[in-house]
Amino acid sequence: MIDLANEPVSSVMRSEFASLREDDRLDLADQVMRLGRVRHLPVLAPDGRVAGIVSNRDLLEASLTSVLNFDATARRSFLRSIDVAEVMVRDVETVTPETSLAAAARRLIERKIGCLPVVDGAGIMIGLVTETDLLAAAYREPRS
């Protein structure tokens, strides 16, 4: 039986992920989240380091479109006027590829967050692990 708790994050992380830049607009974040069916987008500095993260919740709070009753065109126009840097969370919890799944799960629970960017020794983002990734790992078939 595999000891999942001690398995490294690298065994379940996504190495292909969408990301944003600080000067991107929220309409882009909205489109990527909807089309990719993702709830979190890391915001990367030009050197590949994590500058922040935008969640679906951040996007909804920033837009206020449900209160304003915007139609789709007006909503896109409104979101196009806001930089990602204005709404992103800057204090981002990260892990390394060697971090255990148990430690990653603890951080998600303690911080009440849905994802952790995975960074290398130089602080460059190389992957992303989400609560869904951890849940899927817990229920995958054992390897032979």
Tokens at 20, concatenated: 């944003």
For residue 80, what are the domain limits? Answer: 4-138
With respect to residue 11, please indicate whether it lies within any of the assigned structural domains. Answer: yes
Residue 114 has pLDDT above 90, yes or no: yes
Token pair 């992303």 is found at 128
Residue whose token pair is 């590949």? 48
The residue with greater pLDDT, 30 or 74, is 30
For the segment 10-46, what is each residue's pLDDT rounded down to a tens digit?
999 999 999 999 999 988 998 999 999 999 999 999 9
144 inside domain = no
Residue 36 lies in a domain: yes
Task: Show the tokens assigned to 33.
Answer: 């989240």
- Domain for residue 143, yes or no? no
Task: Work out how many domains the chain is built from and give that number.
Answer: 1
pLDDT digits (tens, 9 = 90+) for 75-109: 677 777 788 998 899 999 999 999 999 999 999 99
Closest CA to 30 of 68, 69, 67, 81: 81
Residue 74 sits in a domain of what CATH number? 3.10.580.10
Cite the beta strand spans of the chain per DSSP E. Answer: 40-44, 50-55, 115-119, 125-130
